[in-house]
Amino acid sequence: MVNQQIVQIFNRIADLLEISGENPFRVRAYRNAARTIESLGRNLEEMLKNGEDLTSLPGIGRDLADKIREIVETGSLGKLVDLESRVPPALVELLKVEGLGPKRIKVLHEQLGITSLEELQEAAAQGKIRKLPGFGRKTEELILKGVVLAKKEGRRFRWSVAESYVEELLKYIKKAPGLEKVQAAGSFRRKRDTVGDLDILVTAGNPGVVIEHFVRFQGIKNVISQGQTRSTVILQSDLQVDLRAVDVECYGSALHYFTGSKAHNIAIRAIAQKAGLKINEYGIFRDNKRMGGREEQDIFQAVGLPFIEPELRENRGEIEAARAGRLPGLITLQDIRGDLHMHTTWSDGKYTVEAMARTAAAMGYEYIAITDHSKRMSITRGLDEQRLMEQAEEIERVREDVKGMAILKGIEVDILEDGSLDLTDQALSTLDIVIAAIHSKFRLSREKQTRRILKALDNPYVNIIAHPTGRLIGEREGYQVDMERIMEHARENGCFLELNAQPARLDLNDLNLKLAHDNGLKVAISTDSHNSDSLLFMRYGINQARRGWIEPRDVINTRPLDKLLKLLKR
């Protein structure tokens, strides 16, 4: 939880510095530090207690290490307080709008006095923004769309961020006297890619004591309500948490009720009504007589269904599949044998080929693929044909040193606007795996963007399309494509789509994953890691895959190496 607090503070400082027009290198330093901390597999507070040197972390110098210590020791940072006194904090919200950068926000603030999403939307609707120098009609239209997306996301948190709060909360709540059971429910338990608020259920001999313990949690900003069986609080991060104490006899019913989507719950209750039953959060009843509800399994047994995993409870066919005995055997983290997308110091990664390989080996992987950027991504020091050959020589050396780990030679090659690739076929032919990706021209029409990807899939050396829609959760909607045509073309060409496990991407989304599952198209679940800690992001990809009905057989990197290599030979 402390790590997330530091990430939040560093990103906010970077935002405020950008809006102030500060040196971009200072801004980048805070953003890079935030990325390092977000992917860190260790607790910074514990590291400081153990006397570890934080400057050993990528992108953390002495100044930032001192600031981390200040946050850990005081819960705040003087630098942020100073910046917020000079820059209206509300302007930071405008950075969420696609098409708006710090320079444009500064112009909007100075010229039109805009300080909020509402004021921005009003100015765009009235045609005021297009009149400003450097804007225009198209930019104004893009801003209007961006405001709608930013408002729709509201104060939602990526699942990975919510997870850190859940872990700390559950750890704390478990110390309450007389506690019996505790479980996070809601969209968090269904593992939706974003979470609006947290629902936590408990059973206890004396619920009031647990509630009293809960409201003393140090991360709380405001206690909204406190009763004998329920309390609502707002954390320092602005995340709302509802704690409900329920009777042990209806714990299973309450867990089902507060986990399932509204549509799923309604469908289950409809089945129950036809059988003369009533199901709600208090139990299963027939003529006001309780028939069960102590265990969650009771709900499904009452309506004649097998247990349905929480991730599937969206009323997207899971009930029909359960009735027909066709529920998927969902993939688990243990099914993954390797990671097929990662970056090293050859481009914008933070660790060497050897460091990434050794970390993957320690995780029990059988293979990895090194897939640095190609030359068009000059800002990331992307590889040209010559450097690709030099990297291949290094990979050969590392193969000798890291025994038992297969290291595939690969590339994340850019798909250009016309669908051609950033490297020659001759260069691509030397590789074990080729991942093609779009990193530019996101606003092409649906037809042009689709044709662009279809042409890339026609290249005989392409294996996988990375982050296929280009979305960034809460920041940028995916580009417009005909996903069904792309999936059909990929399947015909012996290619695959990636489920990018970066928590800010989770691209493909759950609906597209189910479409792939239903149409027999296999996917690769990869982390797109830029440091060794990010290899742990695989579990976020697994969460998303399970929501998309993905089974082990649907994923190419559940195969042993020999079978994977056969799949990669088109």
For the entire predicted model, the pTM comes to: 0.85
pLDDT, tens only, 254-276: 999 999 999 999 999 999 999 99
By DSSP bridging, strand 220-226 and strand 283-286 are: unpaired
Question: In this predicted structure, what is the pLDDT of residue 237?
Answer: 84
Question: In this predicted structure, what is the pLDDT of residue 154?
Answer: 57
Question: In this predicted structure, what is the pLDDT of residue 152?
Answer: 61
Question: In this predicted structure, what is the pLDDT of residue 74?
Answer: 86
- Provide the token pair at 161: 């961020």
Question: In this predicted structure, what is the pLDDT of residue 439?
Answer: 95
Of 89, 551, 152, 487, which is closest to residue 329 (Cα–Cα)?
551
Residue 564 half-sphere exposure toward CB, CA atoms < 13 A: 24
- Provide the token pair at 111: 């010229």
C-alpha 367/C-alpha 179 separation (Å) is: 44
Question: In this predicted structure, what is the pLDDT of residue 93?
Answer: 77
Sign of CA dihedral 394, 400, 401, 405: positive
Question: In this predicted structure, what is the pLDDT of residue 153?
Answer: 55
C-alpha 288/C-alpha 278 separation (Å) is: 8
Residue 243 half-sphere exposure toward CB, CA atoms < 13 A: 35
Helix (H, G, I), strand (E, B) or coil at 155: coil
The residue ranges of the chain whose pLDDT is under 50 are none
pLDDT, tens only, 335-347: 999 999 999 999 9
What structural domains and CATH numbers belong to the chain?
2-153 (1.10.150.110), 157-245 (3.30.460.10), 250-323 (3.30.210.10), 333-568 (3.20.20.140)
